[in-house]
Amino acid sequence: MINSLKFILSTQLKRSGINKTISGFTLIELLVAMVMAVLIITPLMAFLINILDGDRKEQAKATSEEEIQAALDYIARDLQQAVYIYDVDGVTQNTNTTTISSSGIKDQIPPVKSASSCSPTTGSNPSVCTPILVFWKRELIADSVGITASTQTGVNADDGFAYSLVAYYLITNPNKTNNTWSQEARIGRFQLRGQVNAAYANTAGRASDVGFNPPPLNKSGATLKNKMNQWQAASDDYTNQVVTLIDYISNTAPISTPCSTPNLVGSSTSGFFACVDANEVLAQVYIRGNALARLQNNNLAYTANAKTYFPSASVRVRGHGFLFTK
């Protein structure tokens, strides 16, 4: 009996000793494993980061391309109604009543004449507005004319036409202090609409924006350009705003010569400029976006290596509006 107990006890002690045996890694083995993990994981992480960064840039590029095309489509529809488009003389020269051929409307439109979002540049003003595409258009105003005097305010109203002065601006942010918009540039639109010229124009037809004056067709001058360049606003300031059409426009671009100097309005090394033939009421409009400005606030200048993230597009439009010259 005693021998049996001794045998059982010795067996349990041996098993207990086996269970208490602990095996593990040495310090050198752990260090080697860590070094190998770093050598393998680090390149994989860098590769993953590059993939994610590239995906973000491609998404930003695709968004810029879509917005640029939408903006060009909008501008094209606007220009199709144009009756006259100002060339570089019209948008860069001030009013000159002495020498008609040297006259322009630069001092009659924003930013020389103040308008919300596009006022005269001061030391603290973060935005600089440059007029690029300025034109007159003949615009349809629905239900703006009564068929007779008795139906002038009735439900049987007819459609009428009114003249509007439209201006598109390149608005830059040189001080980088305007946090509402991107650090690069944007395109803004300004419009002054006049009254419908009809005997029974109703309230909608008689509405007119502050500062509007009709096209100066009664002015002296040998050409239509001479007449239109003498236009003057009816007030010193405007209540209408310069509304942003599209943001994230490039402020730099490769040197190019899309058209001859007399027809070029704006700078071809910017993200928004136009080639205008005032006599033919014809304009080629160019827009270049900056997808990088959606992702970062530095290193935004155009470079050949990053040109894929500066998508561009253009549209050629002839105005088909009718101008009553008699």
Question: Which is more confidently placed, 257 or 164?
Answer: 164
pLDDT at 325 over 60: no
The predicted structure's pLDDT at residue 22: 55
Query: Rounded distance, CA 147 to CA 50, Å?
Result: 67
Q: List the one residue out of 212, 285, 206 whose CA is nearest residue 249.
A: 285
* HSE-up (13 A, CA, CB side) for residue 207: 11
Angle ∠(128,139,207) on CA atoms, nearest 5:
85
pTM above 0.75, yes or no: yes
Mean pLDDT of 56-63: 92
Mean pLDDT of 51-78: 91
Res. 326 pLDDT band, cuts 50 70 90: very low
pLDDT in tens, 272-293: 999 999 999 999 999 999 999 9
Mean pLDDT of 107-130: 77
pLDDT in tens, 185-202: 999 999 999 999 888 888
Mean pLDDT of 74-78: 97
Cα distances from 24 to residues 29, 130, 308, in angstroms, run: 10, 74, 54
Res. 154 pLDDT band, cuts 50 70 90: low
Query: Rounded distance, CA 20 to CA 9, Å?
Result: 17
pLDDT at 261 over 80: no
Query: Is residue 87 a contact partner of residue 106, using CB atoms and an 8 Å limit?
Result: no
pLDDT > 70: what percent of the chain?
86
pLDDT at 55 over 60: yes
Q: Cα(first)–Cα(last) distance of the chain, in Å? A: 137
